[in-house]
Amino acid sequence: MMKSWLSVLPLILAFGCSSSSSGGPSTGAGGAATGGSLGSGGSLATGGSLGSGGSPGTGGAAAGGAGAGGSASATDGGAPCPFQGKWKAVQYACGTGAPQTIPPIVTFNIDIEGTSGMFVQTNSAGGATCMNSNNGVATCAGDTATFGQGITMCSPDNCLSRSQCGAVPDPIVWTFTQGTATTLTTVSTDPTPLTTCTDQGMPNPVTFYWQKQ
């Protein structure tokens, strides 16, 4: 879920990284960021512009209130998150705004296995593809998920516009709800290292709507 996890979500969402994840229904206009990537790299949905276009989304419950599943404790004191498996972000929202479809030139994906998480963000703006990934600890406590970051890996090398390749981003913290077994909503906490919204001159928090893959 990987600053990007979840440079998440970010990162850019991202876990920034960077395209902003998950493609789903898409009517969003999606602008491309400079430097070949939408994310600031290494973190979920960080940096760049996800595009202001798109129709209001239908998905996702408001964040908060979901209990964390699993009883095994992780090294950071959390437990395995209930949203195990592979997820793709299909919409995002800034502040109290309506959900917007994530443009097809950007994808955010997370893969949660036990207390480990992998975040992958891909941006294909301008005809060049930049992929960055991050893996680390992913744990939940109550309705809060924490993604501890590893090193931001990039392909091709140094393809993120803010030179986050090879860096270790700050952990991303979300609150979450799981409306159904195949839908997940995450909301960044304040302060958040994610810049998906602030890079567009829009307010945090950053809300992502995910679909089970």
Distance from chain centroid for Cα 201: 18
Q: Where are the beta strands (DSSP E) in 44-171?
A: 85-94, 100-101, 106-113, 116-123, 130-141, 144-147, 153-155
* DSSP label at residue 199: G
Which sequence spans correspond to the domains of the chain? 34-212
Residue in 175, 187, 172, 145 with CA at minimum distance from that of residue 10: 172
Residue 66: CB partners within 8 Å, gap ≥ 6? Answer: 82, 143, 176, 177, 178
Fold entry, domain 34-212: Lipocalin (2.40.128)
Is there a cis peptide before residue 191, judged by omega within 30 degrees of 0?
yes
φ and ψ of 116, to 5 deg: -115, 150
pLDDT tens digits for the chain (213 residues)?
333 333 333 333 333 333 333 323 222 333 323 233 333 333 343 333 333 333 333 333 322 222 233 333 334 558 999 999 999 999 999 999 999 999 999 999 999 999 999 999 999 988 899 999 999 999 999 999 999 889 999 999 999 888 889 999 899 999 999 999 999 999 999 788 888 899 899 999 999 999 999
Q: How many other C-beta atoms are found inside a 10 Å radius of the C-beta of residue 65? A: 12
Task: Report how far residue 76's alpha carbon sits from residue 62's, in angstroms, rounded to the nearest whole number.
Answer: 26
